Each structure stands twice: as structure tokens, then as C-alpha cells.
């Protein structure tokens, strides 16, 4: 069934605001029809994941919107691209693909999008208000937006995201609707040691396990003794959205739509309860490593999602002035690079052998050197999930401390061995 468009929406689709806006409106309306959405709803903002180069068609699509006079109607930040426009890191993309990637990034800027180039826009000041409807792409950003901020968005795919931003509208369905936001299952971590839950390492592991259990289902996590903080919630959501199609999770007593378990469940009984024990945690952690007991590490990469300023402070404390012995990549947004530059901290980290990557990351564009049988160590559940398929490197998961000690030693060193 076709959605009921307003007179103004029909006029835009017919070309009243130019061919670019008309194309965007037709895309949004057709998406609404396919999703059985009865109408379109206004949105307050968008986060655009479609500016990452995967082929010439994406560039030509964006340039057609520009040629048609399209401009975004709402605030629209940009996810990572295929190039580091800050010049921090060297990208191995060359020739025609590099030029098309550059053109693609330029086209999205010409559409009026903010050149934020980060997968963590919520760290760069884009934090929509609780209860507002938005159209966000990038799986970790969607999970954080819905779960931690309490704004409402579906997982918008490439090209639909920019169409929503241009029209200022989105299909009225899915997680935009309150009835679809209640939890249907319980993910109980009360059986785990509270000291473990207070560590940075726990949250990517739990997120990876949660994503496999949830798939697309909304759940609520119980048994968390204290708010783990924004970086931990970021890591949990990123891992959950990588191992499953998670767009929204609740944590009882922590996230805004879950002041308690009953509220998160909407007064209903859960369809099932997953009780996480230490054995399940260990198994989930082991799954994040695809490298089989390696005695070497070829590179370390952190920052998926992009590192916050607080995470850089932790990195600096752990490095303690030492120099790394193997390539070490720290991916972040240009807003964080600017903060590091103000204090001279970027040059200090680079002198210690750390390569800071901005605007992009090592898993979505060729930065790592080509190496058959290479091992990449990371503290990111998302990097661990995607690195083997995207880079050819086997993944070795550890804490940030593990990553630092291994990079300094040039071989795998885990925290308990580092003392």
C-alpha cells in the first residue's frame, strides 16, 4: 500500500523544489511503500553513511542529487569516507578509485552535509533530543542514538539516509513507533562479577554476545550495578550492531527508556530470559579472536567506533612515553584531532609511533599494508568482527592495555603478563 502523502510532499515529488528534491522524495515514498508505512513523518536530523566509496555508482548518485539542486533540509552529519582529508594518515587508494572517492565526499558536502566524517557523531555534538525522530545511518550510531540518547531512528541504509535528509522526512514505521521500542527479552548479566562489568574489556564482549542473541529483537540488559559510561555503551552497541541487526537496546536503570525492568518491557512478561554466566562470557570473548594462539602481532588498531578524547587520555597513560614497535593505528574524528592539536598531543603520540587516522578507519579503506596471514590486535568488538573479511588480517582481541603492551613489545602480551 502506498503511503498517504501530503499535498506538499506530492508537490516535491512532482518537481516543485527541483529534480534533486523530487528524486529524494520519490525514494523516501517508495521506501515507505515497501516498508508498509502509512505516512511520512518529519525528522529533526540525519547522519549519512552513504558517503563511503564502494563503487562509481554511489558517486554518480550523489552528483546527480547535486546537479538537481538538492540540499539537505535538516542537520546532516557525515559518517566516515574513504579518504583521510586531514592528512593524518596515508590511504593506499589510488588512481580512478581515489578520485571517485574524493568526488563523492565533495558531493555530499555540496548537498549541505556537515563534514564531520566520523562514525561517532554523538561525540562531536550531534545529540538529538529524547523522543525526536531522526534518520541515522551507521549501525553503531543508530544503536547509540536510539538507546543512549532516546531519539528514534531505524537503521537507514546508504542513499535512503541522504534522501531522508533532503526531504526532511522518513517512513513512519519500525523504531519510530513507540510500540516497537519495548523490550521483548531479558539479557541478565547479574551472574557476572561486578568487577568484570567495571572493566573496559567487558562491554565489547557482552555486546557481541547480545547481538547474536538479539538479532533484530529489542532486549533489556539487567544486572548492571552502575552506569558504565558513554564509551562503554558505545562499545556495547557497536559490537551488538555488528554481530546482530541491533538498532535499540535497553539497560535497566541506565538508558532513558528503561528506568526499570517493568518499564522497558512495557508491562509485559519477557518472551525469554538469557542468563549470562562466566562460561558464556569466555566463549563470547574467544569468538572475537580469529587468530589461533599467534606468537606475533603485525599491527594494532583501535577506534571503532572512533576514539573519544577520554579514550586518547587512557592511551597516553598506558603508553607512558614509550614507543611502539609495530604499526599502531588510532582512528578518530577530526573534532578530536583538533583537540589533540591544541595541546600538542598529536605530535607527541606520533613521535611514539602512533598513526592517527581521521575521517575514516583501517577496516573500510586500504591503510594497513597488504600482508598474507597478518594478525591485527584490537580492543574493538566491531574491528574484531569486520577486520578478517575486510582486511584479510586475522583478529586478536584484547583490552586497551593488552593492545599497548603488545605494540610496545612487538608480540602478544596480555595484561596479566605485562606486570
Residues 65 and 95 in one domain: yes
> Phi/psi class of residue 344: alpha, beta or left (left: φ > 0; alpha: ψ in -120 to 50)?
left
What does 11-27 look like in DSSP terms, one character per residue? HHHTTTT-HHHHHHHHH
* pLDDT value of position 47: 98
Locate 295 and state its grid cell: 606468537
Residues 169 and 189 in one domain: no
Element (H, E) at 45: strand 45-48
Burial class (CB in 10 A: 0-12, 13-18, 19+), 337: buried
CA distance linking residue 357 with residue 85, whole number of Å? 10
CA distance linking residue 198 with residue 202, whole number of Å? 8
CA distance linking residue 402 with residue 396, whole number of Å? 10
Structural domain total, the chain: 3
Structure letter (DSSP) for residue 147: I
Residues 317 and 408 in one domain: yes
Q: Pick the closest to residue 219 from 263, 255, 250 (CA basis).
A: 250
Residues 370 and 334 in one domain: yes
Q: For 6, list phi and psi in degrees, rounded to 5.
A: -75, 170
Give me the percent of the chain exceeding a pLDDT of 70: 99
Residues 80 and 154 in one domain: yes
Q: What range does the domain containing 36 cover?
A: 7-176
pLDDT band at 417 (very low <50, low <70, confident <90, very high): very low
Residues 153 and 23 in one domain: yes
Strands 249-251 and 219-222 come out as: parallel
Residues 35 and 152 in one domain: yes
With beta carbons less than 8 A apart as the criterion, state whether 161 and 155 touch.
no
Domain assignment present for 294: no
Residues 169 and 202 in one domain: no
Residues 75 and 187 in one domain: no
Domain assignment present for 1: no
Residues 252 and 114 in one domain: no
Q: Quick: pLDDT tens for 33-91.
A: 999 999 999 999 999 999 999 999 999 999 999 999 999 999 999 999 999 999 999 99
> Phi/psi class of residue 117: alpha, beta or left (left: φ > 0; alpha: ψ in -120 to 50)?
left
- Mean pLDDT of the region 270-299: 95
Is residue 418 over pLDDT 50?
no
Say if pTM beats, i.e. exceeds, 0.85: yes
Residues 159 and 190 in one domain: no
Single residue among 255, 287, 319 that ends a domain in this structure: 287
- Residues paired with 249 in a beta bridge: 219
Q: Quick: pLDDT tens for 308-352.
A: 999 999 999 999 999 999 999 999 999 999 999 999 999 999 999
CA distance linking residue 112 with residue 109, whole number of Å? 5
CATH number of 74's domain: 3.30.499.10
Single residue among 287, 311, 327 that ends a domain in this structure: 287
Domain assignment present for 293: no
Single residue among 176, 207, 242 that ends a domain in this structure: 176
Domain assignment present for 25: yes
Residues 189 and 68 in one domain: no
* pLDDT value of position 84: 97
* pLDDT value of position 416: 55
Domain assignment present for 419: no
Amino acid at each position: 500500500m502506498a503511503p498517504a502523502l501530503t499535498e506538499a510532499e506530492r508537490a516535491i515529488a512532482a518537481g516543485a523544489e527541483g529534480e534533486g528534491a523530487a528524486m529524494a522524495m520519490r525514494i523516501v515514498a517508495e521506501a515507505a511503500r515497501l516498508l508498509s508505512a502509512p505516512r511520512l513523518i518529519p525528522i529533526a536530523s540525519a547522519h549519512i553513511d552513504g558517503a563511503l566509496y564502494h563503487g562509481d555508482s554511489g558517486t554518480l548518485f550523489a552528483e546527480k542529487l547535486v546537479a538537481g539542486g538538492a540540499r539537505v533540509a535538516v542537520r546532516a552529519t557525515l559518517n566516515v569516507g574513504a579518504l583521510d582529508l586531514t592528512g593524518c594518515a596515508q590511504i593506499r587508494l589510488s588512481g580512478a578509485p581515489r578520485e571517485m572517492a574524493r568526488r563523492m565526499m565533495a558531493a555530499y558536502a555540496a548537498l549541505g552535509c556537515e563534514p564531520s566524517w566520523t562514525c561517532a557523531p554523538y561525540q562531536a555534538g550531534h545529540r538529538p533530543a529524547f523522543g525526536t525522530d531522526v534518520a541515522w545511518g551507521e549501525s553503531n550510531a543508530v544503536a547509540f542514538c536510539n538507546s543512549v540518547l532516546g531519539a528514534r531512528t531505524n537503521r537507514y541504509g546508504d542513499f535512503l539516509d541522504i534522501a531522508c535528509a533532503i526531504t526532511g522526512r522518513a517512513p513512519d514505521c519500525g523504531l519510530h513507533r513507540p510500540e516497537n521500542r519495548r523490550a521483548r527479552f531479558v539479557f541478565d548479566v547479574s551472574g557476572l562479577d561486578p568487577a568484570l562489568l567495571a572493566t573496559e574489556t567487558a562491554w565489547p564482549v557482552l555486546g557481541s554476545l547480545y547481538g547474536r542473541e538479539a538479532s533484530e529483537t529489542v532486549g533489556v540488559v539487567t544486572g548492571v550495578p552502575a552506569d558504565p559510561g558513554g564509551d562503554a555503551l558505545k562499545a556495547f552497541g557497536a559490537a551488538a550492531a555488528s554481530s546482530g541487526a541491533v538498532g535499540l537496546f535497553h539497560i535497566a536503570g541506565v538508558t532513558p527508556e528503561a528506568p526499570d525492568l517493568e518499564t522497558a518491557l512495557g508491562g509485559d512478561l519477557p518472551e525469554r530470559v538469557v542468563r549470562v554466566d562466566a562460561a558464556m562470557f569466555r566463549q563470547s570473548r574467544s569468538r572475537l579472536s580469529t587468530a589461533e594462539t599467534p606468537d606475533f602481532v603485525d599491527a594494532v588498531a583501535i577506534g571503532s567506533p572512533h576514539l573519544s578524547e577520554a579514550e586518547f587520555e587512557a592511551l597516553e597513560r598506558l603508553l607512558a612515553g614509550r614507543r611502539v614497535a609495530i604499526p599502531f593505528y588510532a582512528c578518530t574524528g577530526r573534532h578530536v584531532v583538533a583537540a589533540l592539536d591544541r595541546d600538542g598531543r598529536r605530535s607527541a603520540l606520533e613521535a611514539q609511533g602512533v598513526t592517527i587516522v581521521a575521517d575514516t578507519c583501517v577496516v573500510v579503506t586500504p591503510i594497513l599494508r597488504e600482508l598474507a596471514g597478518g594478525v591485527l590486535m584490537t580492543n574493538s568488538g566491531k574491528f574484531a568482527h569486520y577486520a578478517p573479511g575486510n582486511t584479510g588480517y586475522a583478529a586478536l582481541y584484547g583490552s586497551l592495555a593488552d593492545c599497548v603492551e603488545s605494540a610496545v613489545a612487538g608480540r602478544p602480551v596480555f595484561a596479566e603478563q605485562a606486570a
